[in-house]
Amino acid sequence: MACKDGPSGYYTLDACNPNDYSTMAFGGTSAAAPFVSGVAALLLKLNPNLIGEDIQELINRTAINLSYGGGFTDQYGHGYVRADLAKAKLDGRELFHFAVGDVPWALGPLTDVEQADVSIFFLNVQQWFPSPSSYPCRRHRLAATVQWPHSFPDLPTVWTRSSGSLGWRSIGPSPDYFDYEKDVYEGGVVGGTVSQTGATFETYVYEVYYNGAYHWWPTDPGHARLMITALGGLANTGVRDPAVARVTEVRSFPNPARSGVQFEVSVPERGLVRAVVLDAQGRQVALVASEMMEAGRRRFAWGGRMADGQWAPAGVYFCKVRSSGGQAVRRFVLLGANRE
């Protein structure tokens, strides 16, 4: 990201100079970081369900490009950050986290649809095979065409996230490289396939020929997966259905709890149900459910550990449940004792 220059630039105290009154030019990443951090905090306050890659995607997609040719550049990054445009992207829209491939809540499987012979130069992958070195590979394109759990009133904004995904980008017929210390797992949305009712996604896995045999990398087709974010409104049919319109009911027990907590949810109709635990400041502590559920009363549990694996401290917490039938929040108390 880049900061917008004023008539004479920005100046700040020079920390490297012993004279407190000395100043120096202030630009580049040093100037951009506090602006971008502030925008990220604003977006997270507007929607606590955003994760890091969602925030990054929103900021990148709404930035004003500063390069002559367009696109990302080393000098300007994605461009001039616009908090107002990023906020407008969220206003009046719902955030949904989906998946395809090898996860229990997947919208559908990834299917092996195409193979090709390629070559990859690997760096820093000694845990799999000697590197740096080039290896012949067989590339497998995996794809999934899925339907959203509900239709959107307009075209949703959709992207994939590397966090939680297991697959890689496409490698062409000419030699390409993979650096384990820099590259991330990824896939993508197939261009032109996003609609109000569904989309097609793709990622790639490889058979690497080493020591006289082929080895799957980064995984085999059956274990590949893609994490997906969709941003859009909920379709309004114009017909009020009391069973769908009412807020989802959620109960917790025991309350207060000394360790794990059980939640019981009333699901008005079959659809995606997402439940998170929030602390007293509204920050997400843990994701406890994100899956397709049938209509009726459903139960799930939280063992008391935060997303980083540490025990949550004693205090007041909230279970926030969202579905196509609405949302509900239940307050509960964690005493923080009797933990093994």
Mean pLDDT of 49-55: 87
CB 121 within 8 A of CB 133: yes
Q: Residues 87, 88, 90, CA angle at the centre, nearest 5°?
A: 70
Residues above pLDDT 90, as percent of the chain: 26
Confidence at residue 194, expressed as pLDDT on a 0 to 100 scale: 96
CB 226 within 8 A of CB 165: yes
Confidence at residue 279, expressed as pLDDT on a 0 to 100 scale: 85
6 in a structural domain: no
pLDDT digits (tens, 9 = 90+) for 196-255: 999 999 999 999 998 889 999 899 999 999 999 999 875 543 433 333 334 457 888 887
Choosing from 205, 232, 259, the residue where a domain stops is: 232
Confidence at residue 202, expressed as pLDDT on a 0 to 100 scale: 96
Same domain, 189 and 279: no
3 in a structural domain: no
Same domain, 32 and 131: no
For the chain, give the mean pLDDT: 80
Of the candidates 256, 255, 253, 260, the one whose C-alpha atom is nearest the C-alpha of residue 304 is 260
pLDDT digits (tens, 9 = 90+) for 290-332: 877 887 888 889 988 888 888 888 888 888 888 765 678 888 8
79 in a structural domain: yes
E strand or H helix at 151: none
Taking each helix axis from N to C end, the angle separating 28-46 and 52-62, rounded to the nearest 10 degrees, works out to 110
pLDDT digits (tens, 9 = 90+) for 68-122: 666 777 777 788 889 999 998 888 787 888 889 988 778 899 999 999 999 888 8
Same domain, 138 and 177: yes
Confidence at residue 3, expressed as pLDDT on a 0 to 100 scale: 42
CB 169 within 8 A of CB 205: no
Domains held by the chain: number: 3
Q: How many CB atoms lie within 10 A of CB 329?
A: 12
Residue that wins the pLDDT comparison between 163 and 142: 142
Confidence at residue 139, expressed as pLDDT on a 0 to 100 scale: 93
Residues 55 and 61: their CA atoms lie apart, in Å, by 10
Mean pLDDT of 155-161: 93
Residue that wins the pLDDT comparison between 274 and 39: 39
Sign of CA dihedral 77, 80, 82, 83: positive
Q: 126 to each of 20, 119, 123, 207, how far by Cα in Å?
A: 50, 18, 8, 16
Same domain, 194 and 298: no
Bridge partners of residue 183, in order along the sequence: none
Which residue range(s) make up the domain with 42? 11-91
Q: How many CB atoms lie within 10 A of CB 52?
A: 11
Long-range contacts of 276-280 (CB under 8 A, 24+ apart): 276/48, 276/49, 276/319, 276/320, 277/302, 277/312, 277/317, 277/318, 277/319, 277/320, 278/48, 278/317, 278/318, 278/319, 278/320, 279/312, 279/315, 279/316, 279/317, 279/318, 280/315, 280/316, 280/317, 280/318
Per-residue pLDDT band for 27 (boundaries 50, 70, 90) equals low
